[in-house]
Structure 1
Amino acid sequence: MWARLRPATVRGKLVTMALATTFVALMTAACGMLLYDLDSYQQYWVDDMTTQAEIIAVVSTPALSFNDPSAARQNLGMLRVRPHILAGAVYDARGAMFAAYAQSSQDTPVFPTRPGRAGHAITGGHLVVYHPVIENGEAIGTVYLIARYGLVERVRTYAAIMGGVMLLSLLLAALVANRLQQGITQPLAAVTGVAREVMEKRDFSLRVRSSNASGEIATLEYAFNDMLAEVGRRAQALQNTNRTLQYEMTVRQDAERALLQADRRKDEFLATLAHELRNPLAPIRTGLDILRMAGNDKPACDRARGIMERQLRQMVRLVDDLLDVSRINTGKLTIKREPVALQSVVSDALELVRPFVEAQEHRLQVELPQHPVYLLGDATRLAQVLSNLLNNAAKYTNRGGELALRAVMEHGQLVIRVSDNGIGVAPHMLGEIFEMFVQADTSLERSTAGLGVGLSLARRLVELHGGTVTAQSPGIGQGSTMTVTLPVMAAPDEAQDALQPAGPEARRLRVLLADDNVDFVDSIAVLLRGAGHTVRVCHDGAQALAAADAFAPDYAFLDIGLPRVNGYDLARALRKLPSLHQTVLVAVTGWGQQKDRLLAQEAGFTAHLVKPVAVEQILAIMAGGREGMLPRSS
């Protein structure tokens, strides 16, 4: 009940508090004053009645002494002037009534048969006094008085007065509190209103308007506004943190998905790599068996050699693609920028892929601009791009399919489109097929799946040339088109002459071969001797160093991993020999990273070839070609 009557507003609470405080104070004061007044009132009446009793006792002493009751009654009759004294009596020394008096003749009081002890008593709303009559120190009688004791009327009167005073005081307190509370409740109401609005709208930019108050109210307004500002800053910081956490969570989830996908692709790649490397090894092994068993059957031996050469080229191509991707990812692949003709690049690319295209019985259509188009780039790498795209199209097109390579000029740029009518690409895979180890078709039925690095390598080589490559496909089973866009350059002077390689001067040379792979080095020596050159073969570094000074070779092809003396130390030692100052030192090694080329250059090598090495590469260097040449030290 009281909870429902309690005011809900600060203003009501303050007024109620002021009134309650005033009421309690007034009630406390009224009760105190009432108790004090009742005590004073009682004391007054006791003193007054005692005084009257003493007067009666004094004036009644002679009457008692001379046994004159009439004189005593006359003395009691003086009490008529005190109407509140209802009756009185004088008792003699024996306690017998001597004289009596009553205020009203109608109401005869009942007098006690014997007087009580001296003193006073309040009983039944009456004050009774007994006072002894003393003469010469001896009690000769007792005076008895009884009067009305108006305590209830006194309390009522006092309560009425205090009620009026209290009511007036409460009204004045309410008016004063109502007036004073405006300086307190209005600012508090403003603070409460802003707090409610902030909770509803979550808008921490709201502020309490200044009420020009002073003291604690002003401090409260300032502190509340400052708190809102701080909460707003923290809320904003929390939101930013939440957004950051959400972004980081999204990035982490994307990274986890990417890692899972990369791990899956890695497993697929390793399985595919094992499959692709085993494929050429089987016919190579078979070819070796044919060579061992065929004996003098030259046609069978020629066929076996042809098979082995094709499969070896396939293995070299796989390894070269992987090495090229690794160099690009580590930023170590550089391209030579020189004017090259589009027609020459396409011709080189077709030469690389034609055996595979013909083996698949595909029909290849080539359309090039009628006028010469020149590019500023690396002819070998550009041919590698086109051969990768054509090889990819041939792999993912069923036997007897249609392939096309079309080059046109659009908006001042060269646009080359390699299209096929093969298995096509799903829409969701168009943006992924240029990633490492991604393949459009991973089914077991396709025997020429590859490693999934060709398109990734092609894209990165094109980007190194300042171009782009994109994929388009209407969908699964509807073929695909790879579009390469490259910047072109104006035709250089004497371009036609530059495109015609000068034939090497036929001359006999002294060649030093140092390699611990006996089969490899002996087979190269046989081929070089067949070409008319003088060849010295060594199988360790110390033997090569001992033979070099007397042999004075024009060219020295040295393996790096030689026993006893490694290739780097051997090259440094050979450079110190006066007879070998003009010798061209060529490093032949399985290590092809940029750091390996730098080590070779520091050791004094002129060129650097990566195994497996074909005899054509060796002959090209001996003819003065630039293949494998290292930059000259400054």
Structure 2
Amino acid sequence: MAPPHDPGGPGRGRLAPAGWLTRLLGWCAPLLGASLVLFLGLLWMQSSAEGIVRSDGERMAVIGGVLVLVVGMLLWLQGRAQLSANRLQATEQSLRFLSDALLQAHRELEHYRESEQALRDADRSKDEFLATLCHELRNPLAAIDHAGELLMDLNDDQEQREWAVRIIRNQTRQLALLIDDLLDLSRIAKGTLTLNLRPASLAHLVRSAVDAARSFLEEARQMVVFQIDHDPMWVEVDPSRIQQVLINLLSNACRYSDPGKSITIALHASRSEVVLSVKDQGIGIDPALMPRIFGMFIRGDSARDRAPSGLGIGLRLARLIIDRHEGTILARSDGIGFGSEFEIRLPRIAPPSPLPAPEDTARPAALPRLLLVDDNRPMVEALRLLLQREGHDVRIARTGREAIEAVAAERPDVILVDLELPDTDGLELAQAIRSTDHSTTPPIIALTGSGRPVDLDALQAAGIRVLIQKPVRIEELRETLARIAREGAGTR
């Protein structure tokens, strides 16, 4: 929008006096003209030019005619002056409008140039992101494929067999983390990311995150040094999300540091907040990059040369998650070659009272019988073998119809249902299972590999107790089944 016209501008200063003088003449000219005619008429009446007009009547007629003529001319002049003044005022307004229009056009042109440059930058970032994404996906897939080929050719070399299995597990987890990060960015942008907030010990979450990152820490030969106060440091957070942030920070520290360097994790508390820092001895951060370090797809030139892996979304995701927890995260670095430090501050809460009592593990809960409903044959067969090794009795149904028949034939203790089945929706299947048995419906666990947001209220209304993202981590599933068994859910 163009700015309002300035009355004190240069154009106004030149046009205003002319308009003022014209208006003054327009008002004073008739009075001056009439006075002049009367004065001349009186002088002429008293003159000796009686030979021209002999009677007083004729003199008065002449004076009246002259007066009418002069007044008419003055009125005509006044009209012309007023018309000129109007035209001058219209010209002034046109010039003012033209000046404002030129200013607006200039600003819109600048805005267009900035938008065009932003689109070019976004397009370049998109191309770079897609290329990096392909790189990040192809490398783990290639490692998994090679390890699989190696497993097929191995006979009795147990050491190489364990190495290949470890490669497959580590690379699969890397792919799962990558997909989770991409989906979480989309969920946060759409406002559909839900947090399961509960009191948690931040020191415990830190050690759990380090344990989860142990594989790539050992691969990079990085050593973690803890500097954790002994005071209780409780926060109200979503534990899985905070661990996700910490794993991202540890991954970056490994990626941009030389082998054998150390990563220091410090944790202390003030009266109102808990402060966590992750400091590495890596390549550091360019000062020119520091203001944009938490942006999307941001990776410095030195980072590209040193560590071509990484999509440049981990720090952006970390900030968004910490913001959702009403905390802050900031980066520090003395420049290239001097390492970097990331500091997280979260609101501190009082320890829950009473503290949760340790669980009684002396008597293991009975293993529930499972019905696994999914049409993905390789995944289902692998998951069934894993669960059978855990001691579960597992039956498989590949469609909604088969699932209803299996529930009616042999009632399972827990049902695992894929939300995307070929013949029905997982929510509809859960509701159908509940409607066919009005006594006690077995607990239902939903599985999903879709990136679409899930309506948690609809899940609860359908009787679904837990939602687990694919690929299913056996540790998470084991913990969920143990909790359901302890709670006494389901009947045989």
SS at match of 1:290: helix
Which of 277, 290, 313 is 1:453 aligned to?
A: 313
2:394 corresponds to which of 535, 539, 542: 535
CA 1:235/1:407 → structure 2, altered by over 3 Å: closer, same or farther? farther
Residue ranges of structure 1 left out of the alignment (5+ in a row): 1-196, 627-634
Aligned counterpart, 1:249: 109
Amino acid in structure 2 at the alignment position of 1:213 = C
> Which residue of the partner structure matches residue 590 of structure 1?
449
| Residue identity matched to 1:431 | P
Matched residue type, 2:143: P
**1:607 aligns with one of 448, 453, 466:** 466
SS at match of 1:288: helix
Q: How does 1:219-234 map to 2 (within 5 A)?
A: none
State whether structure 2 residue 293 is matched by structure 1 residue 433: yes
Q: Say whether 1:375 aligns with 2:232.
A: no
Between the aligned partners of 1:580 and 1:420, the Cα distance in structure 2 is: 58
Which residue in the other structure is 1:517 paired with? 376
Q: Distance in 1 between matches of 2:200 and 2:96?
A: 59
**C-alpha distance after superposition, 1:273-325 (max 9, x if no partner):** 11111211222122222332224544433332222111111111111111111
Superposed displacement of residue 566, structure 1: 4.8
- Maintained 8 Å contact 2:263/2:279: yes
In 1, Cα distance between equivalents of 2:440 and 2:118: 55
Cα–Cα, structure 1 residues 518 and 258, in superposed 2: closer, same or farther, change >3 Å?
A: same
Shift of 1:376: 2.3
The question of whether the paired residues in 1 share the 8 Å contact of 2:279 and 2:340 is answered with yes
Look up the SS of the partner of 1:344 in the other structure: helix
- Is the 2:170–2:215 Cα contact (8 Å) retained in structure 1? no
Task: Determine helix, strand or coil for the equivalent of 2:293.
Answer: coil
The CA distance in 2 between the partners of 1:222 and 1:467, in whole Å, is 70
C-alpha deviation, 1:432, in angstroms: 2.1
Residue 408 (structure 2) aligns with: 549
The alpha-carbon deviation at position 383 of structure 1 amounts to 2.0
Q: How far does residue 233 in structure 1 lie from its aligned partner after superposition? A: 5.7
Tell me the residue number matched to 1:213: 28
Quote how far apart the aligned CAs of 1:365 are: 2.7
Separation in 2, partners of 1:425, 1:242: 44
Please tell me whether the aligned partners of residues 515 and 539 of structure 1 are also in contact (alpha carbons under 8 angstroms): yes
Q: Does 1 or 2 have the higher relative contact order (CA < 8 Å, sep 6+)?
A: 2
| CA separation of 1:409 and 1:232: change in aligned 2, threshold 3 A | farther
For 2:245, the equivalent position in structure 1 comes to 385
Give the length in aligned residue pairs.
Answer: 428
Among 330, 333, 355, the alignment partner of 2:190 is 330
Cα shift readout 1:309-351 (whole Å, capped 9, x = no counterpart): 1111111111111111111111111212322222122222222
* 2:285 partner SS: coil
Partner of 1:164: none
TM-score between the two structures when normalised by the length of structure 1: 0.61
Query: What is the CA-CA distance between 1:243 and the residue it aligns to?
Result: 4.3
- Which sections of structure 2, spanning at least 5 residues, go unmatched? 1-8, 31-74, 486-492
Q: Equivalent residue for 2:149?
A: 289
8 Å CA contact 1:403, 1:420 repeated in 2: yes
Q: Is the 8 A contact 2:256 2:303 kept in 1?
A: no
- Provide the TM-score with structure 2 as the length reference: 0.76
Instruction: Point out the structure with max Rg over C-alpha.
Output: 1
Determine what percentage of the aligned residue pairs are the same residue: 33
| Alignment equivalent of 2:169, drawn from 299, 304, 309 | 309
Q: Which residue of 1 aligns with 2:211?
A: 351
1:490–1:568 CA distance, 2 compared to 1 (3 A): closer
Query: Counterparts of 1:233 and 1:345 in 2: how far apart (Å)?
Result: 70
| Cα deviation code 1:425-454 (max 9, x no counterpart) | 222211222122221247765456211110
Alpha-carbon offset, residue 218 of structure 1: 6.5
The equivalent of 2:275 in structure 1 is 415
Measured in 2, the distance between the counterparts of 1:250 and 1:562 equals 52
> How far has the Cα of 1:570 moved from its partner?
2.8
Is the partner of 1:302 in helix, strand or coil?
helix
CA distances 1:117-153 after superposition (whole Å, capped 9, x unpaired): xxxxxxxxxxxxxxxxxxxxxxxxxxxxxxxxxxxxx
The change in CA–CA distance for 1:397 and 1:442 in structure 2 (over 3 A counts) is same
Instruction: Tell me the equivalent position of 2:417.
Output: 558
Q: How far apart, in 2, do the equivalents of 1:371 and 1:470 lie? A: 24
TM-aligned CA deviation for residue 226 of structure 1: 6.6
Deviation at 1:205, TM superposition (A): 9.6
| Aligned AA (1:511) | L
User: Is the 8 Å Cα contact of residues 443 and 463 (structure 2) preserved in structure 1?
Assistant: no
